[in-house]
Structure 1
């Protein structure tokens, strides 16, 4: 099969190899997926560069990318043969595993291949494992949000854009922060604030008549901690999935405590089985209802993988970079 791999950390153009290797076979409990699309996430790029905290080459050869979509080609022992031919999206393909989705085939546990509705493209399916499921977990992972006010920081980002749509679909009022009018439109939010031009705390308090918000989907906890503290209602939840600007922030413990606030630091790789199944069920329902739109950025084919990594690293894109296999 054609694949892309690396055997050491470094710049994309220096370490990514595009070539031929033997296709995998599904083991017991596994499915073999013929991939049509591979999503390139910031975590994939950071790992290849050796830039993730504690990163080590755990395997002599790594095929990158955790997200992808395709069709089940074969199944291993213990898997229903009726799954052959099923359209699926996959998750955690390269999480604590050697071989991800930057290849024509991937073999992985059956539960990590989720049915992809017929009306949803493979390219869109390659956005679900990390961006969409992170958004769902950040919005809905602690229970219903119907009737609540949800603030989504970074509403134009790959996770934030899905979070805006999901919170609205779940019955919440949604306010997003963005860095430009263009990104405000891209976010799909009906109410948004340009944080570069406006005091977010003041604007949100005015928009909510001084009440604040019930939930914050937070893209940069360290940078936004003071604003979050000002805006979160007593008993509210801050669901943070990143803190890039300040990776070791000083926590204002007592002010948060006296608001009885919940700080939920989340990572989609560690989703428990029952919670993940609920997220998959809800995502499938929204997809079948045509509620979600997807921001796919074409990244070329497998041979263009290095350029796709550089595009993700640059941040000069609106959406998820996807390789067409």
Structure 2
């Protein structure tokens, strides 16, 4: 099968297209014929070796955890799906090796759900990691209807899902974004404010009594300013900075594969309560450029690689 792989840690230049054996499956795993795969910041951080000690990598490694495709083979005990089912998954395993930037990938059934029927494979491939991150951070925050939430990086892959999920939960949402993305953030249901110098004053002007929840998807300034912006009893949740937990009494979250959560996201998409923004689509041969696009940052929505 065709796949993108790397033999050493480094820049996107270490990625190359090659022929590799098709994956084997275990009793609770299926083989998915990949139609599209999402690219996330964690993919290039793993590739560059930044997460050694936290995530094991078996070289040569095929990167990628987000996938949308069609079930090609089923394991011994996989009653959740049948051959031919259209699925999507956050196919994270304990070791980075046989990832989703390939024509076929082995996917544990605990990580997958039926693909939402109202969007294509490319849109579906952009959902799993970012959508699950948004859903699980909001759950950990305890956000309730009527509360006010500040979403940092509201136009990004995770932030755009978090804005929509918080609005769906009945919260008032304020989101940080560059000015060029303010109309987009408004379209998601949030009140946009610009990050950078003067953030505290701009945020306080929108919520003089403070924010019940702060969702941090960018780090740095988002955590630095949290003490000035949280309401009494407010809570911060971060995916980037452990200070949110260790110093501010909030939560530090690493997203988990969860089939039920993924099915929930699919339902919300099919009910038109959750929209997927795809920023760019690359062919498999140009997957290194997809990695570079994610590394540059400031992408509105998701970067996806088309496999088949």
Kept in 2, the 8 Å contact 1:62–1:99? The answer is yes
Kept in 2, the 8 Å contact 1:7–1:60? The answer is yes
Q: Secondary structure at the match of 1:31?
A: strand
Residue 196 of structure 2 corresponds to 196
TM-score by length of 2: 0.90
Residue 267 of structure 1 corresponds to 254
State the Cα distance separating 1:82 from its structure 2 match. 5.2
State the Cα distance separating 1:251 from its structure 2 match. 8.9
**Among residues 230, 234, 248, which one is paired with 1:232 in the alignment?**
230
1:279-300: CA deviations, max 9, x gaps? 3243122112011121213332
**Among residues 264, 275, 279, which one is paired with 1:282 in the alignment?**
264
1:62-95: CA deviations, max 9, x gaps? 1101111101111010112852211111113355
Kept in 2, the 8 Å contact 1:71–1:86? The answer is yes
**Quick check: 1:69 aligned with 2:51?**
no
Kept in 1, the 8 Å contact 2:71–2:87? The answer is yes
Aligned length: 305
1:36-69: CA deviations, max 9, x gaps? 0011111101111223354787313211011111
Kept in 1, the 8 Å contact 2:245–2:252? The answer is no
State the Cα distance separating 1:222 from its structure 2 match. 3.7
RMSD between aligned residues: 2.4
Q: 1:7 to 1:53 in 2, by over 3 A?
A: closer
Cα distance between partner residues in 2 of 1:238 and 1:104: 40
Q: 1:21 to 1:215 in 2, by over 3 A?
A: same
State the Cα distance separating 1:265 from its structure 2 match. 0.6
Listed as ranges, the matches of 1:1-325 within 5 Å are 1-13=1-13, 15-52=14-51, 54=53, 58-80=57-79, 83-93=82-92, 95-180=94-179, 182-187=180-185, 188-196=188-196, 199-208=198-207, 210-243=208-241, 253=247, 256=248, 262-269=249-256, 276-315=258-297, 317-325=299-307
Cα distance between partner residues in 1 of 2:118 and 2:32: 19
1:91-128: CA deviations, max 9, x gaps? 13355241110001111211212111211221122122
State the Cα distance separating 1:178 from its structure 2 match. 1.2
Q: 1:71 to 1:278 in 2, by over 3 A?
A: closer
Cα distance between partner residues in 1 of 2:79 and 2:245: 49
State the Cα distance separating 1:201 from its structure 2 match. 2.6
Cα distance between partner residues in 2 of 1:232 and 1:252: 16
Q: 1:79 to 1:240 in 2, by over 3 A?
A: same
State the Cα distance separating 1:161 from its structure 2 match. 1.0
Kept in 1, the 8 Å contact 2:282–2:306? The answer is yes
Cα distance between partner residues in 2 of 1:250 and 1:212: 17
Structure 2: 5+ residue stretches without partners: none
Structure 1: 5+ residue stretches without partners: 257-261
Q: Which 10-residue stretch deviates more, 149-158 or 85-94?
A: 85-94
Q: Secondary structure at the match of 2:105?
A: strand
Q: 1:317 to 1:203 in 2, by over 3 A?
A: closer
Relative contact order: is structure 1 or structure 2 higher (C-alpha 8 Å, sep ≥ 6)? 2
State the Cα distance separating 1:317 from its structure 2 match. 2.9
Q: Secondary structure at the match of 1:168?
A: helix
Q: 1:55 to 1:214 in 2, by over 3 A?
A: closer
